[in-house]
Structure 1
Amino acid sequence: MERGRDEGWDRDGLWLKPAPGPLSLVQGFVNTRNVMHGYDLLEDVEGAGTWLDERGLMNGDVPLTEESRTRLVEFREGLRGLLLVHNGGRVEGSVEVLNELAEDALLRLSFDGEGTPGLLAAGSGNASSGVIARLLAVSVGASSEGTWRRLKACRNEGCLWAFYDGSRNRSGSWCTMAVCGSRAKMRAYRQRKS
């Protein structure tokens, strides 16, 4: 099986509950690390560069270095921590890591044809700052649209997959009830019976 395509996972890191519009790019970025299946599409410079380039996140003039790749992995895990917070969890240090990495991300204000303001990446001297700027711009846009807090990380610590909670009351906890939700229910049932 090809990495990223087994068990219903598609190559963009979306599975069953994809986020709408550009927010799916942030979801896919977080899902470049698949905890349950044990792979990481950002584990080396070549793989990271391929994934980023296929999604138009790389500036062809700025090469991806090991240092940039490491920063992107830190950013990804910081985002995952925030998505756990969206799901009622608590992850120490995520906000601090994201704030530190965002310092180098250059963003500019831009208006669309209808006069709606938005943030765009303004370019960067290194690959990681440019990617981070683009993903931050998407996150800010999603926040203003009310979709950001619906992007969550699965509560199953053996999964942590990013999913979009489309439930009316925003109470979704699991990437899928068929796997992670049922496992949690079985654990709770066994604990009650013992």
Structure 2
Amino acid sequence: MVASAELVRDFVNTYDVEADADDLGTPSELALWLRERALAGPGDRAGDDDLALAVALREGLREALRRGPEPVELPLLPLRVTVGRRPELAPIGGGVTAGLAVIAAGVIGGSWDRLKVCAEETCQWAFIDSSRNRSRSWCSMRVCGNRTKTRAYRARKQGSRPRPGSNTDTV
């Protein structure tokens, strides 16, 4: 199974930075999330180690998206290279760690360069940049782009005003 950019995006977005809400707060929530995406079987259970691995993978992917071409080391996962029509990474075995391995393998593909993390520091939401020149910076121009631009505008305006207590009208 080859993971899509959408799957990688959705996995990174299981933690909402702004709301401090984690969809993978417990091992059972991790197992359920993977089962809902056919990445784990109905009998597969997750433990605390699996949850720690998932969080490390998620935050490693977020960091990689934030850094761009700078290398980021992701946690070790059971993957092998398969060569057929084109080389691919495939999970070894099954269960929760194999499901996480499918997500990690999703970074090897044509859409990784379209995945980004919102430039708004309070957001950090992953999104797929579908702009022609791949120049999008925010997950939403209406929300995050507007926040960033409003903050920059206010900072410029404050910088152009005389500071309180400064004597600007003396010659």
TM over 0.5: yes
Shift of 1:60: 4.8
User: Contact conserved, 2:28 with 2:45, CA < 8 A, in 1?
Assistant: no
Deviation per residue, 1:114-173 (Å, 9 max, x gap): x2332221225x633x12321122211x2xx2x212101101111100001111111111
TM score, norm. by length of structure 2: 0.82
106, 109, 112: which one pairs with 1:138?
A: 106
Shift of 1:71: 1.1
Q: Are 1:184 and 2:148 matched, yes or no?
A: yes
Structure 1: 4+ residue segments shifted above 4 A? 59-62
TM score, norm. by length of structure 1: 0.73
For the pair shown, the structure with the greater C-alpha radius of gyration is 2
Q: Are 1:173 and 2:141 matched, yes or no?
A: no
User: Contact conserved, 1:152 with 1:163, CA < 8 A, in 2?
Assistant: yes
Identity fraction in percent:
39
Q: What is the letter of the counterpart of residue 95 of structure 1? A: V
Q: Are 1:150 and 2:114 matched, yes or no?
A: yes
Q: In structure 1, how many angstroms separate the alpha carbons of the residues matched to 2:81 and 2:43?
A: 20
55, 59, 79: which one pairs with 1:77?
A: 59
Cα RMSD, aligned residues only: 2.1
1:118 corresponds in structure 2 to 88
98, 102, 105: which one pairs with 2:78?
A: 105
Q: What is the number of residues matched between the two proteins?
A: 156
Q: Secondary structure at the match of 1:182?
A: helix
User: Contact conserved, 1:23 with 1:139, CA < 8 A, in 2?
Assistant: yes
Q: Can you give the 5+ residue segments of structure 1 that lack an aligned partner in the other structure?
A: 1-20
2:48 corresponds in structure 1 to 66
1:15 corresponds in structure 2 to none
User: Contact conserved, 2:5 with 2:128, CA < 8 A, in 1?
Assistant: no
Q: Can you give the 5+ residue segments of structure 2 that lack an aligned partner in the other structure?
A: 159-171
